[in-house]
Amino acid sequence: MAIQWSIILSAIVVLFLIALLSRSRRSSAPVLTSDWFFGYLTLFRMLTQYNDLLVEGYAKFNKHAFQLPGIRGWIVFVGRELYDDLRKAKDDTLSFSEEITDTISMEYTIGRAYATDLWHNAVIRKQMTQALGPKFPEVYDETVCAFEDELRLSRTEWNSVHAHGLILSVICRASNRLFVGLPLCRDPVYTQISRDFSGTVIAAGVTISLFPKLLKPLVGRWVTAAPRARRRFEKFLVPMIEERRRKEQEMGELWEKEKPSDLLQWLLDASKEHNPTAEDITTRILGINFGAMHTTALGFLHVLYWLAAHPEYAPVLREDVDHALANYGWTKEALGKMHKLDSFIKECMRFTGLTVTAMGRKAVKDVILSDGTFVPKGAKVVMNAWSIQHDPAVFYKPLEFDPWRYSSRIARGESEALNSLATASGEFFLWGGGAHVCPGRYFASQEMKTMLLVIVSRYDVKFEGLPKRVRPKDTWTSFSCLPDLKQRVMFKRRE
Ligand code: HEM
């Protein structure tokens, strides 16, 4: 019976997709490949050769816009000349949330309130980002303890660890030290739910997104484990929220002095005008965990692999760290002065990165872009990010990995802010851009730098069984570039 249902549902999906793409209106931009069979043959090619197609289109159309078929309609890939169109776009024209709803069906996985009422973004942007300086010692402490607990190294021996598992655990603890504080950030069940949640949401979201709107709630109930994860998270957070609310009532002004300083509290303080339930606040913490965890872990895994393949970069990074610490002590300011550390990570993100496109937006009405390209309602517009980040007209020797690319620019007198990892721009797309630019980018940059700083100052790293200067192969699936998730890395405590 279950098999019959899955065949019927698959048939509905296929028919739906064919109907959708054949009916969907096209942009006026040129089509890169054959659109035979409604473009679905190209679509299959895009599963494994997405980036090759985008590079081909970038060259063929001289960096101007072109289009390819997507699962739900046509996608217009644009070059740098249209960056400002996307950066300045408003949600009533080119919508970020419609794009997210289409791709990961957030309202059926994380929750409707989280997907539609985004007041938590302002808290991340303001209260959380402003607290990154004062909270740096705690995040640093958690990072050090998490590495020590996970690596369990003896004095002298090399130890091989599963790199993705290690990095995910460290990030989960360090992030949750800021989100909910001690001791919860170390609770094995809480951190397990947080680590698993992103995988659950993405898998379920992509499946749900393939179905027509009418069927989504039904499919959502079947395929996603997200509600269960939410209920398990609530067991930890709801009592904590209720206790904090009770203390606020009882302690009055004294609470202002004694209340915890973490994301949960900043959300509670900012929530008064929204009057959310404890469950709603829990969902927001879970949703922010979703946004923060795997992005940072996958990004940092690329960084770790570059370092393990090139141990010769470690002494240069150590010198950068020592110099900043000697002048600024263990502070966020010191971290800001570690230009080589920052440059190393930024170059990893430029060179390998996580996705080949950026700033995906769905047209919610017909739009004409500033170069005259017509984008019909329902089509998507995205930046052809990888092609720009590897364009010799934009970067000197872009196909070479130059870890000091950005720090050399600063040393030559260029702007520190423009060249720093946390800065989004029309040449660096890791954080997206415009109204929806990642609000967690300052924290994510700080976390990645803290991890790299801890690794280079406390450990030596290398690959086991790979020739020197060779990274494990990345996996290119659709628009993402994933580092090898199975790879092990050798760690040794430094003398
Ligand atoms: C390396 C790590 C990270 C990467 C690569 C990343 C990347 C992104 C990107 C590309 C976007 C969409 C921007 C756009 O389309 O213009 C985004 C949005 C978002 N990110 Fe991040 N992010 C990271 C870490 C974080 C962290 C640590 C947090 C929270 C503490 C976070 C919270 C969010 C939220 C809430 C949004 C949605 C913004 C909105 O609705 O306007 N991210 N992120």
The answer as to CATH 3.40.50.880 being correct for domain 93-354+390-493 is no
Other beta carbons less than 10 A from residue 280's beta carbon: 18
Q: Look up residue 127 and give its DSSP letter.
A: I
Annotated ligand binding at 438? The verdict is yes
Domain boundaries, the chain: 1-92+358-389, 93-354+390-493
Q: Over the stretch 207-236, which tens digit does the pLDDT of each residue have?
A: 787 777 777 887 777 766 677 888 899 999
The pair phi, psi for residue 94, each rounded to 5°, is: -115, 105
Backbone dihedral region for residue 475 (phi beyond 0: left; psi -120 to 50: alpha; all else: beta): beta
Q: Are 493 and 459 in contact (CB under 8 A)?
A: yes
- The predicted structure's pLDDT at residue 12: 64
Task: Please give the DSSP secondary-structure letter assigned to residue 124.
Answer: I
432 CA from centroid of ligand 1 (Å):
8
| Position in ligand 1 atom list of the atom nearest CA 433 | 16
Alpha carbon 168 to chain centroid, angstroms: 13
The finding on whether 287 has its CB within 6 A of some atom of ligand 1 is no
Q: Is the dihedral of CA 343, 348, 350, 351 positive or negative?
A: positive
Q: Any idea which residue has 């302002």 for tokens?
A: 122
Q: Whose CA is closest to atom 29 on ligand 1?
A: 440
What pLDDT is stored for residue 1 in this prediction?
A: 47
CB 346 near ligand 1, within 6 Å: no
Peptide linkage before 183 cis (omega within 30 of 0) = yes
C-alpha of residue 140 to centroid of ligand 1, in Å: 21
H or E, element range at 213: none
Query: 6 CB contacts (<8 Å, ≥6 apart)?
Result: none
Can you tell me the distance from the alpha carbon of 373 to that of 67, in angstroms, rounded to the nearest whole number?
11
Angle at 126 between CA 454 and CA 100, to 5 degrees: 85
Q: Which pLDDT does position 421 carry in this prediction? A: 98
Rounded to whole angstroms, how far apart are CA atoms 338 and 403? 13
Give the Å distance between the CA of 126 and the centre of ligand 1: 15
- The Cα–Cα gap between 31 and 43 comes to 13
CA 364/CA 367 separation, integer angstroms: 9
Task: Give the C-alpha separation, 463 to 161, whole Å.
Answer: 10
- Which residues in the chain show pLDDT less than 50? 1-2
Which atom of ligand 1 is found nearest the CA of 96? 15
* Segment holding 460, helix H or strand E: strand 459-463
